[in-house]
Structure 1
Amino acid sequence: MSDILVLGGAGQVGTELRAHPWPEGVRVHAPTRAELDITDAAAVEAALNERAFAAVINTAAYTAVDKAEVEVEAAWRLNALAPAILAGATKARDIPLVHVSTDYVFAGTKAEGAYEPGEPVDPQNVYGASKAAGEMAMRANPRHVILRTAWVVSPHRGNFVKTMLRLAGERDRLTVVDDQHGCPTSAADLAGALAAVTLRLASDRDAPTGTFHYVNDGATTWCGFARAIVEGAARRGGRPVPVEGIPTSAYPTPARRPSNSRLSTDSLAQAYGLIPRPWQAALDEILDRLVGPSRA
């Protein structure tokens, strides 16, 4: 029996990791925040002493991007301090550590193309800075993999798909930013990638380590994504409301948003053979669960 510790099990990705079809003999432990505070070094040490974990997956994060601009300490505790504690504790026990990070570690100003994992980070807000610091801390454990992702959606918790579905049911027209580009990502697909990487790290000491990206294939804007959601819902009986594109300047937020959140997954494909499916296919699967099967 292989025991794997999943942190952040109540979030979108953590929920999908708990539901993932793990191989027989793998047992997933996903303590709640009340059961394990990962910003408490003594609590982490005690948890890792309970059993011989084959690996640890950290999906826990402070992700309220705008609130982070004022709740700075809270963001840094969960996004930077906790990874440092986890890296030290797992390194001491020779346990592989897999960590989820974000496109926000980059400036998001790249004119063309997708960001590669090795490009310099340059976060533009508190959330991004705290996540970049967490990445640095994670690298203290030589047996680590960092998976950066972006635009994560699922049938669970709050996310862009659920927000657009709600607004489409309430309003006759939607206005959505159309000059920020990125790659929508299914939490279920990301969980599958995390599981594959984790199992390999746990069974192969020579498995590739370092920083990689995982997003679904293809890119769009928030407006393009919203149109796909509304159109997909309409095929399932939802209201076909129009979606109008607006510039970022028309929708100011406390935290600066990247104009380019595209992430290249080429290095992950080379290292682990993981090829993400198109984001449109992943979206259809989510809409099937949230709205129902397509009628078209």
Structure 2
Amino acid sequence: QRIMMDATASRLFTKAVVNSDVLGRVVAYVDMDFRGGEEFSYIPHLRSAYVSMLGFTAGRDVTTFCDLEAVPETIDHEGPNAYNFRFATLLRYEVDFWQKHFTFGVAAEMPVVSGTYNDNFLPLAQRVPDVPVYLQYAWGRNRQSHFRASAVFRNMYLHNARTGNNTSLFGWGVQASAHIELGEFFTIYGNGIYGEGITPYIQDLTGSGLDFTPDPMNPEKIQTMPMWAWQASGQLNIIPSRFWISGGYSTAYVERENGYYSENQYRRGTYIYGNAFFQATANCRIAAEYLHGSRKNRNGAMGEANRLSLMVQYSF
């Protein structure tokens, strides 16, 4: 048990907008927080830095695989463990059509690979970008509700020390996500993901070394790991735009493939939360949040944690 007071989530941003006769609306955006180092170090950290025009976005932004409206607001900056909020260096194209009911997006993004190696397989610099793509259908007077289908394709490079050749593994993932407003007072959120070798796109599995592992039955082979995750949540607007509460359940799971590589390998994690937000003034927001998280390994070892968070936010 411990108490923490933290202001590293404070953010600074700058945004420039130019309306060009040739290029249309051109937006340049940069923002940062103070999570760039060890805990409580307050080292500046670049979150976003991009330019967008004519439907193209170039620079650093939230990955195209992430549906930004598929979860309610949380104090926890990472959000549910089945979510995929992460930043990537990218080149993206998005376009609306059919009276803005449909949106299509595709991108090339800098890959981040987290695999488990052995004496037969060694890491290599990556050569092929990740390619996420999505198609979204929106409805409502202001297109405020939507359903989105997404996919991501990966080609992960590594070196086979036994043969002396470089090799690659194919990773892929699919996602369904939704944001559904049921009138003024209640909103439903959710997303579900399934794939192989896609740990950067599932919050709880990022950096876990499970994009691929050596085959437990034959260490001269290597294999991508199948995994899935889902979350569902809801928000009740008690006083719309002034006071609202939300909560949800989220889980992530790594399947076995020819058994499992190690006994302490991740098996399943869960994330349960509830919060309340109060917009005290146009600039000041106050919130409280409870989180319960758990993780279970392949050998049955399990850990649990609880957290109560309070937030005061002033925007200017």
TM-score relative to the length of structure 1: 0.31
Structure 1 or 2: more helix by fraction: 1
Structure 1 or 2: more strand by fraction: 2
Q: Of the two, which has the highest radius of gyration?
A: 2
